[in-house]
Every structure is written in structure tokens, then in C-alpha cells.
Amino acid sequence: PLNWGLEAWKWQRLARHLEPRHSYWRSLRAVLVGLTLGFATPNRVGDYAARILELHARRRLDAVGAVFLGRYAQLVATVLAGGAGLLYFLLRFYLSGYPAAQAGVLLAATVLAALTLLPLYRSRLLLAVLGLVKPLQRFRRYLAIMPTYPARELHAALGISGLRYGVFCGQFLLLLHAYGVRTPLGPAVAAVAGTFLFKSLVPSLNALADVGVRELSATHLFGLLGQPALPVLSASLSLWVINIALPSALGLLWLPGLRVLREQRSR
């Protein structure tokens, strides 16, 4: 799907900071193999591992920070859009008629958005905070590469993350329409954004466990809009099959080509 092509493009840009000749096809292989490995690993850590192991051995430590940077950029896009979506539901369904509470929520959302962007563009501050907390100090060396990325690469990572997020939303909206959900576009986008935010914030055991979180969130938010659960559930499950199950199967075919496995075979 297009969204994983965009993810591969983002990873290529981040990986080229470590290996200038890193190709798009290597990035795409790492992304799809990562989906396969992440399908069965806790919190989908296999996704990180595949990208790291595709790089040369001497750059794999730095790759941890690069992978984190890419994933965090995606989280920023999800939090910003999802926060706006949840604001719609809070202001319309829960805080209607309470202007003071609405103002407080809007202020809190603005502060949260700024704080979410801070680690992306001020990663030295993040490293300083990690250095102050003893249990977290061991992570500093893995993220030390982050401040070396120029602002244009950070903008690009965030922009591609936004494009990928837009593709996800568009797919979900089209599937909802195909299954007969008829909701005005604005509220539907807010519900989709809120669904993705809940899914991103709740830890999951593996890719299979993601299914329940997204479906529960989607049926609740669209239920507030007066939509029945079954078509929403069907659309959400179809989205999972298209974006997780099928690409994971494709990544299984590319698994033998992972760099670390090629290196072992050549010894």
C-alpha cells in the first residue's frame, strides 16, 4: 500500500544520514520485513529490529536513534491530528454549554501540542532529561544521533508522516463509505483521527492485539455520531487486513534478503 511506500521513503531519508548510499529498495525491504517481525513481537519491536539489522554493523547503534526519530515523527502527526479530533467530541458532546471548561481544554491542548513537538526539534533537551533520570541514562547513547539531524530532515520526516497519516485516514473513510456509513465529512474525520490516537497511545502485545483497541475506539466514537457498530467494525478490520496482514505476508518473502542474514551466510 501507498502508506508503507511513504514509510520506506521516510526511513530512506533518515538512514541516509547514517549511510549516504542507502537505497529506497533496501528501505522498503526493511519496512516490510519489520512488519512481519513486528506481527508477533511485543509492542512490535521487530519493526525496529529489521531496520537496524538492514544497516551495516558499525552503524546499528546509531540506527536505534534514527528509528526512534522516524517513529516519533509519526506519533507527533497522530497526536496533533488525533487531539484535534478528540477536541471536537469533547466540545460537542461533553463540554457543550461550559465555556470556561472549553477554554481550559483548548489551552491544555495547545500546550500539549507544543510539548509533543519539543523532543523532535529540541532533542538535546530530551537527552539532557534522560541524563537526569538514572534508570533512563542508559538510553542516551542510543539516541545520541538525533541532534545531528538538520532541521530540513526533521521537517521532511514530519511532512512524510503527515502524508502517511492522511493516506490512513483516506483509506478508513473510503472503507467506511463502502460499508454504508454515512456521516458528514468533518465529524467522520474527527472520529477517525480519535480512533488512531487511541490505538497509538495504548500499548499492545503484538499486531494482532492492535485490532481490539482500534475497533473499540472506532465503534465508540462513531456510535456518538449515531452510526451502527457493525459497518464501522467491518471497515476497521478491513483496514487492518490491508495495511498490516497483507504487507506482513509480503515481508515474509523478503526476510531471507535482510542484510544481517546475508552477512551470516557469507561467513
- pTM value? 0.90
- Express the helix, strand and coil content of the chain in percent, nearest 5 each: 85, 0, 15
- Nearest C-alpha neighbor of 37 from the set 51, 23, 55: 51
How many other β-carbons are positioned within 10 Å of the β-carbon of residue 182? 11
Using DSSP, state whether 19 is helix, strand or coil. Answer: coil
The distance in angstroms from the start CA to the end CA of the chain is 35
Q: How confident is the model at residue 50 (pLDDT cuts 50, 70, 90)?
A: confident
168-197 pLDDT, tens digit per residue, is: 999 999 999 999 999 999 999 999 999 999
d(CA 168, CA 156): 18
81-100 pLDDT, tens digit per residue, is: 999 999 999 999 888 889 99
> What 8-state DSSP symbol labels residue 41?
S
Output the CA torsion sign for 189, 193, 198, 199. positive
d(CA 123, CA 162): 20
The total number of residues written for the chain in this structure: 267
d(CA 42, CA 261): 22
d(CA 86, CA 200): 14
190-228 pLDDT, tens digit per residue, is: 999 999 998 888 766 566 666 667 788 899 999 999 999
**pLDDT, position 265:** 47
Kindly state the cell numbers that stand for 45: 519491536
**pLDDT, position 248:** 85
1-32 pLDDT, tens digit per residue, is: 789 999 999 999 999 999 998 999 999 989 99
- Nearest C-alpha neighbor of 26 from the set 39, 38, 37, 13: 13
